[in-house]
Amino acid sequence: MKIELHTWNTPNGRKISVALEEMGLGYSVHPVNISKGEQFNPAFLRISPNNRIPAIVDPDGPDGAPISVFESGAILLYLGRKTGQFLPADPRAQVPVLEWLMWQMGGFGPMPGQVHHFLQVENEADRRYGLERYSKETRRLYGVADRRLAEAEFFAGALSIADFAILGWAWRHERHQVNLDDFPNVKRWYETMLARPAVQRGLDVALS
Ligand SMILES: N[C@@H](CCC(=O)N[C@@H](CS)C(=O)NCC(=O)O)C(=O)O
């Protein structure tokens, strides 16, 4: 049976469709229209109590019984462990995957997400401080990524779930007003990722 992907067409949603495609797992898309408040439906809250997409339901959980998972980082770790792909079992090799996954979850997502928010604020006085603060922090994070990718092909060395997490947000670089020409190593990595057929399928699949 297929994994249910409860999601919407957003950076956090795209991380999981890309990972599912890369791992070759069958899945069905269950759109949750967050602009209409469907994330507050009681049935969705039962699998995602923080009223955020994405969430998955795997009918074939670790013990054979169904399991649901919310939070995109937890979903990526779950899928990596389930398939043994893009998450090395060796503890030393796993550390950079966890580091860059947490780096994304804690910063390279929340910060550009705030840029997206403040860009929509119409009152200039309300907008200015937030936009300046979060744009600066977003650019700092792109700089961190650029330095990392000067020394490694992918964030954790080999392609991993951390790349899928980071790609979800890099995919929206134009929306948070970052020009990848300013970050040539990120640009090289981004183009490498987009050239992967499974990544393309994960970015193209209809989620809404
Ligand atoms: N930390 C969460 C964040 C998820 C998140 O912010 N999802 C947004 C869309 S990208 C959402 O569902 N927003 C609905 C809302 O704010 O009510 C994750 O990575 O899964």
> φ and ψ at 71, to 5 degrees?
75, 120
pLDDT given at position 12 = 98
Whether 72 shows a pLDDT value over 90: the answer reads yes
Asked if residue 101 has its Cβ within 6 Å of ligand 1, the reply is no
User: Is residue 67 helix, strand or coil?
Assistant: strand
User: Angle at the Cα of 28 (from 94 to 8), degrees rounded to 5?
Assistant: 80
Expressed in angstroms and rounded, the spacing between residue 53 Cα and the centre of ligand 1 is 5
| Ligand 1 atom, smallest distance to 32 CA | 12
Nearest-CA residue for ligand 1 atom 16 is 52
Contact 13, 29 (CB under 8 A): no
Q: How far apart are CA 105 and CA 71, in angstroms?
A: 9
Is 0.95 surpassed by the pTM of this model?
Answer: yes
Flag whether pLDDT at 44 surpasses 90. yes
Percentage, residues of the chain above pLDDT 90: 99
Please give the DSSP secondary-structure letter assigned to residue 2: P
pLDDT bracket for residue 79 (50, 70, 90): very high
Average pLDDT, the chain: 98
Atom of ligand 1 nearest to the CA of 15: 19
pLDDT tens-place string over residues 140-183: 999 999 999 999 999 999 999 999 999 999 999 999 999 999 99
Beta carbon of 104 within 6 Å of any ligand 1 atom = no
CA 151 – CA 131 distance, rounded (Å): 31
Tell the residue nearest (CA) to atom 11 of ligand 1: 52
pLDDT of 1: 87
Mutate to test the pocket of ligand 1, among 8, 52, 72 (most ligand atoms within 8 A of CB): 52
| pLDDT computed for residue 98 by the predictor | 98
